[in-house]
Structure 1
Amino acid sequence: MRGKRSKQYRKLMHQYGMTFGFREPYQVLVDAQMVQDAARFKMDLWPALERTLHGKVKPMITQCSMRHLYASKETPPAIVDKTKTYERRRCNHHTLEQPLSTLECLSSVVDPKGSRTNKHRYVVACQDNEVRSYLRSIPGVPLIYVHRSVMIMEPMAHATEHVRDKDEKSKFRAGLKGARGAITDTLKRKRDDEEEQSGSGSEQEEGRARSGAQSQEEASKKKKRKGPKGPNPLSVKKAKKRPAQENNKGVGKKDSGEGGTSNPAATINEDGTPAAQKRKRKRSHKSGKGADSNGPESEAHDAPSASAEGAGAAEED
């Protein structure tokens, strides 16, 4: 089967399924002539039907068609035995002495009440042109026949297309009505929202002002201003220490005694400035006079007496 024809058949069966509810496995009614022609063209009927309909198939044959096969001498017994494996569709004509024609039998099975409906969703595979022309008047009946060893599926008949178009228009109108209902619902919601907004107009204005200020702040934060970059902190020279701090550190070290304690009050004034330190007085000792074994302490005690004697001698003169 060529690709283009196969694609058309797939679309047809999809349309039948969407409009008339066809589903797998498809029930295919086969007549006696179809079985004989398939055997003559050396065609395996069951797989060929599955290829044409693009799905699983359940072949069915009526009792009248089986009686036609038994009566014909052209049908080999192997084909008859293979046809017996198909599902038997009871047409309730077995009580008659002679089987009914294919047209009468199939029409009674497809449309038993004459209501022009394919109630059981049969697919008819028939070689009789008269039967196919009659079944075209019944909507929703896929028709199959064999022509020169090629199985062909007929396009949709006029009655079937009419029902399909009517169904599509009804679905389209239902969709429009649903869309209109949705639009009216949205309009009602908008009106309710507007009424609520009119009642709380001042609050909304304040909220909008706040939101506007927040958005401006966020925008200013996001926008980074470009400017001159500072120097590298690793290449900058370190700042020198203040002199007051150095003096304080030096005084603390000198004034600290043997115990390591310092007297900050003696070295720093009340205003925080360092106080002037008094230099120690060093006395020069005379060689050989007034020298005592006590050392510097005795010299310190004898110093005022010597100065007094010198003053008295000056008065006498």
Structure 2
Amino acid sequence: MPRAKRSKQYRKLMEQFSMGWGFREPYQVLVDADFISEANRCKMDLIRRLEDTLHGQVKPMITQCSMRHLYAQKSEPGVEAAIELAKSQFERRRCGHHPNEYPTPLSTSECLHSVVDPKDNGVNRHRYVCAINDDAVRANLRQVAGTPLLFIRRSVMIMEPMATVSAKARSKDEKSKFRAEIKRSGDKRKREEEEEDGGGGSERKDTSEQSIGGAVGGEKTERKKKKTYGRKEPNPLSVKKKKKKPEQAADDQHPKTSPVRRAVVSEKTEGGEAPKRKRRRKHKGSRVSAGDEAASTVNGPTATATDAANED
């Protein structure tokens, strides 16, 4: 994996640990004897590499048992320099395994597990970053949720991805926060609706008592209507236009007579009886002369019918 890509991945991983378990700078880094010996053999600037890997300031620490392991390996080449580095730049973490009570130092796995998880709750309570080269010790610490793990391979410091136990604990915590937020927002919405209705605590109590009394007396209590959200009516542009009624069409064709019709309809609806129809005055040109009347009598009823049609 390229260096830039690996660095970006480590930064995201530490952000996840900081959000899930509250890791803060300076990061407390627990180092064992094998890790210091390997870093010294590779001629590595250990503190600087730790800061580059974790993307923040570090506080390196070493337990008393790990120091005793280093003193036990003093005869090996390069261990004296590692001892001097641990004594000068590393803070001593008191694990409680004194030489008087424990003549031989405890193994790295037992000692680090007692420091990281003292109550066996499966949680990294004090937020330690463990830098360990032993595979068995790292496998043991993977069972402790929220424990970042570092090791050295071929002069490269590598950070392990989040363990399965840690990932499950983090997802569970996120789901619980999400549910709590949903519940809180639901209560807030309910409270806002009650405030909009204008009901306080005493008024709610009175209404509840009234509803109980109404139920006992047999009266029907009106329930509060639920607010509906969303579209209530169809889009007017997508609805087919209604056809006009025949009376409305006639009024549109004869606009002069339409007000009269409306007045007649309104009077009929209000009074209950239709008003008398107004007589129209006949014009002089429409009068029938005496000669025409004689002709109409001679020709018969057909002529009069035709003449009447022509007059109309």
TM-score bucket (shorter structure): 0.5 to 0.7
Match of 2:82 in 1: 79
Correspondence for 1:145 among 151, 162, 166: 151
Match of 1:3 in 2: 4
CA distance in 1, matches of 2:97, 2:114: 10
Match of 1:303 in 2: none
**C-alpha contact 1:27 1:57 (8 A) present in aligned 2:** yes
Match of 1:33 in 2: 34
CA distance in 2, matches of 1:164, 1:124: 19
Match of 1:286 in 2: none
Instruction: In structure 1, give the amino acid aligned to 2:21.
Output: F
Correspondence for 2:92 among 61, 72, 88: 88
- Offset of 1:84 from its aligned partner? 0.5
CA distance in 2, matches of 1:186, 1:91: 55
- Offset of 1:108 from its aligned partner? 1.2
**Which secondary structure does the structure 2 equivalent of 1:114 belong to?**
coil
Deviations 1:250-285 (A, max 9, x none): xxxxxxxxxxxxxxxxxxxxxxxxxxxxxxxxxxxx
Structure 1 segment 38-49 matched on structure 2, within 5 A: 38-49=39-50
CA distance in 1, matches of 2:80, 2:136: 28
Match of 1:251 in 2: none
CA distance in 2, matches of 1:30, 1:74: 20
**C-alpha contact 1:52 1:153 (8 A) present in aligned 2:** yes
**Which secondary structure does the structure 2 equivalent of 1:58 belong to?**
strand
Residue 118 (structure 2) pairs with residue 115 (structure 1): no
Match of 2:58 in 1: 57
**Which secondary structure does the structure 1 equivalent of 2:98 belong to?**
coil
Runs of 4+ in 1 over 6 A off after TM superposition: none
**C-alpha contact 1:26 1:123 (8 A) present in aligned 2:** yes
- Offset of 1:122 from its aligned partner? 0.8
CA distance in 1, matches of 2:13, 2:84: 33
**C-alpha contact 1:25 1:56 (8 A) present in aligned 2:** yes
Deviations 1:203-245 (A, max 9, x none): xxxxxxxxxxxxxxxxxxxxxxxxxxxxxxxxxxxxxxxxxxx
- Offset of 1:186 from its aligned partner? 3.1
- Offset of 1:69 from its aligned partner? 1.1
- Offset of 1:67 from its aligned partner? 1.2
- Offset of 1:178 from its aligned partner? 2.1
Instruction: In structure 2, give the amino acid aligned to 1:183.
Output: R
**Which secondary structure does the structure 2 equivalent of 1:29 belong to?**
strand
- Offset of 1:109 from its aligned partner? 1.1
Structure 1 segment 162-241 matched on structure 2, within 5 A: 162-192=168-198
CA distance in 1, matches of 2:120, 2:194: 51
Instruction: In structure 2, give the amino acid aligned to 1:116.
Output: G
**Count of residue pairs the alignment pairs up:** 193
Instruction: In structure 2, give the amino acid aligned to 1:131.
Output: V
CA distance in 2, matches of 1:187, 1:21: 37
**Which secondary structure does the structure 1 equivalent of 2:150 belong to?**
strand
Correspondence for 1:125 among 127, 131, 145: 131
**C-alpha contact 2:40 2:81 (8 A) present in aligned 1:** no
- Offset of 1:77 from its aligned partner? 2.2
Gap regions ≥5 residues in structure 1: 194-317
CA distance in 2, matches of 1:20, 1:162: 13
CA distance in 2, matches of 1:187, 1:91: 57
CA distance in 1, matches of 2:98, 2:113: 16
Deviations 1:32-70 (A, max 9, x none): 000011111111111111111111100000111111111
Identity over aligned pairs, percent: 56
Q: What root-mean-square deviation, in Å, do the aligned CA atoms of Structure 1 and Structure 2 show?
A: 1.6
CA distance in 2, matches of 1:93, 1:181: 52
Match of 1:160 in 2: 166
CA distance in 1, matches of 2:36, 2:53: 16
- Offset of 1:164 from its aligned partner? 0.4
Gap regions ≥5 residues in structure 2: 200-312
